[in-house]
C-alpha cells in the first residue's frame, strides 16, 4: 500500500524538526547519539520529500515543509529552551503560515 503524499510530507516535516532539535544537543556533532539522530532524521526527511515530489509540485512541497518546520521548531524552542518569541517574531510566523495557506488554497501549480 502506497502512503499518501501529504502523509509522507508530514513524516518529512516531523523528521526534520527532530533532526534540527537534536542538532543543538549534538554540541557541534561532538556527542554521538544526538549527531546520529541529526543524520538519520535528515535522511528520512529528504527521502520522504523526494517521494512527495512525484505527485506534489516542488513549490508547494517546499513551502509546506519549510513553513511548518519553522513554526514547529519555534514551538520546540519555546518548550525545550525557553526561547519565547517576541511580537515581531510572532507576526513573522503568522505571515509564514498565511503565505503557505494562500499558496495551497489559491495556487494553480501542477506537478509535471
Quick one: average pLDDT of 21-43?
96
- Cβ atoms 75, 14 nearer than 8 A: no
| Spatial distance between the Cα atoms of 98 and 27, rounded to a whole number of angstroms | 34
Q: Give pLDDT tens digits for 60-102.
A: 999 999 999 999 999 999 999 999 999 999 999 999 999 999 9
Whole-model pTM: value is: 0.88
Amino acid at each position: 500500500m502506497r502512503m499518501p503524499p501529504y502523509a509522507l510530507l508530514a513524516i518529512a516535516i516531523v523528521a526534520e524538526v527532530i533532526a534540527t532539535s537534536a542538532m543543538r544537543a549534538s554540541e557541534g556533532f561532538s556527542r554521538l547519539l544526538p549527531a546520529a539522530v541529526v543524520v538519520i532524521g535528515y535522511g528520512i526527511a529528504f527521502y520522504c520529500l523526494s517521494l512527495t515530489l512525484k505527485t506534489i509540485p516542488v513549490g508547494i512541497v517546499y513551502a509546506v515543509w519549510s513553513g511548518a518546520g519553522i513554526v514547529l521548531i519555534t514551538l520546540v524552542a519555546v518548550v525545550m529552551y525557553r526561547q519565547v518569541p517576541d511580537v515581531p517574531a510572532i507576526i513573522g510566523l503568522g505571515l509564514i503560515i498565511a503565505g503557505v495557506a494562500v499558496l495551497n488554497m489559491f495556487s494553480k501549480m501542477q506537478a509535471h
